[in-house]
Each structure stands twice: as structure tokens, then as C-alpha cells.
Amino acid sequence: MKITYLDNSGFAVEINNDLLIFDYYNNRSETGKTFADGVIDFDALEGYDNIYCFVSHEHPDHFTRAIFRIARRNPNTHYIIDRKIKPAEGVDSTRMAPGSFYEDGKIYVMAFGSTDEGVSYVVQIHGKTLFHAGDLHCWHWMMESDESESKKAREAYTKELTTIRKYLNDRPDVAFLVLDPRLAQGIDDRLLEFNAMFKPKYIVPMHMQGEYWLSKPLSRKIKCPVWCYDHRGQSIEI
């Protein structure tokens, strides 16, 4: 399984000649048009057996309507998107709400809630289990939230994790989790909570606002491997 970082919470996952695309939004690059440049070349996708495009929600740092052009090049493209997003006409799509699921004999997807907009995803394919958090996180702002608001944010996050735990019996092979520098103190507390509850085999931080150094202190706190990427287009084999 090869994972390429595309920007913010966007990733491409290549596995057994299938391609999974998560929360892709930035289709601009000054260097080129390949995965190595952190972008998707829509004209170079014919070789994949199946392409699954996931969108957790419609925030502009998670979604661009340009993704619907992919189906023009590869007819075996399926869009698994938040229910609030209107798909392009004629594309094969499934709109998801918390508790929804999709399966086609090769992939199984279940959508869970978020503490912000949209959904989070558990994806099972080729014997691997992936979790993509979308904007599921403990969104309490140190300079704006009082203790009561911070407590509610922590409780909401834990509640969502508890719901996911009821359905997810396997350890995720890869967990894509929010690590946002704007939260300042306790920035990785909830990520550590996820790690303690689910014990993923590999953690991929995301939503780091370009502050890629944040993943290194996290990697020293837990035994689970953490991918410490530092630029768009970087890839790892897991």
C-alpha cells in the first residue's frame, strides 16, 4: 500500500491497482502534474482497476468539484461523498451520512460522525482497514473557549470515538488523524486518546496547516509508527 500526501487532509492511497483519494482540494502546483508534485493528473488515471473518491465534507480545504472530472478518464470511478454535496451529473456516487455504508464486493465503507461538518470514514479493502477522520477532532480554541466549552468539545469527541469503537473490531492499519496547530496547548491529546482506544498500526497526521514539524514530537510519545512527512507529494510504502 502506497500513500501520497496531497495537501491538508488530502491523500492518495494505491493498493492492488486500486486508487483511493481522500479529501482532495488543491489541484495547483508550481512544479508539475503528478502525485510527486502533490496533485492528481486527471489524464493519467486510466490504468487503475477502480478509483474511489472520498469527500468528508464540503469545506474548501477538503473538497473541489474538479474531482468529478476523474470519471471522464476512468469509468470505474465511484464517489463516496458527504450527503450535503451535490455530485456532478452522470457520475457514480453515494452520498453518506453518519451510519451509512457502501459496499461493492471489493470495498466496504462505513460513515461515522464528525465534531464539525460532514463525516469520518472507515474503509476496508484488500484485507486492510483505513480510518480517515475528516474534521473529526476536539475543536476547542484555547484563547476563545472557556473550561465548560472545552469540556463539551472533549466529550463530543470521545462520544464519536465510542460509537466508532462499537463497530470497528479490527485495529486500523492506517489512521489519518487531525493534528491542528491552531489548538496550541494539548494539541495532540485527542490523537493520543484515539491511539489508546484503537491501537492503529500506523498513524498519519493531517490538517497541520503546513506545520509539518508537529508530527515529530507526537512520534516520540507513542510506540505506533507515525509518518512524519514534510512536503506535498511525499509518499510512503506501508
Angle between helices 147-167 and 189-198 in degrees, nearest 10: 20
Q: What is the mean pLDDT of residues 176-203?
A: 86
The CATH fold of domain 2-237: Metallo-beta-lactamase; Chain A (3.60.15)
pLDDT surpassing 60 at residue 175: yes
Q: How far is it, in rounded angstroms, from Cα 152 to Cα 66?
A: 36
Q: How far is it, in rounded angstroms, from Cα 145 to Cα 142?
A: 6
pLDDT, tens digit, 9 for 90 and up, residues 56-85: 999 999 999 999 999 999 999 999 999 999
pLDDT score of 144? 58
pLDDT, tens digit, 9 for 90 and up, residues 24-42: 999 998 888 899 999 999 9
Beta bridge partners of 82: 96
| 154 CB neighbour count, 10 Å cutoff | 17
Domain residue limits, the chain: 2-237
pLDDT, tens digit, 9 for 90 and up, residues 97-149: 999 999 999 999 999 999 888 999 999 999 999 999 999 987 665 555 556 77
130's CB contacts (< 8 A; 6+ apart) are 13, 20, 121, 122, 123, 124, 172, 173, 174, 175, 176
Q: Which DSSP category does 39 fall into?
A: S
Contact predicate 62/8, CB 8 Å: yes
pLDDT-derived band at 44 (thresholds 50, 70, 90) equals very high
Phi, psi of 224 (to 5 degrees): -60, 135
Query: Rounded to two decimals, what is the model's pTM?
Result: 0.94
pLDDT surpassing 70 at residue 46: yes
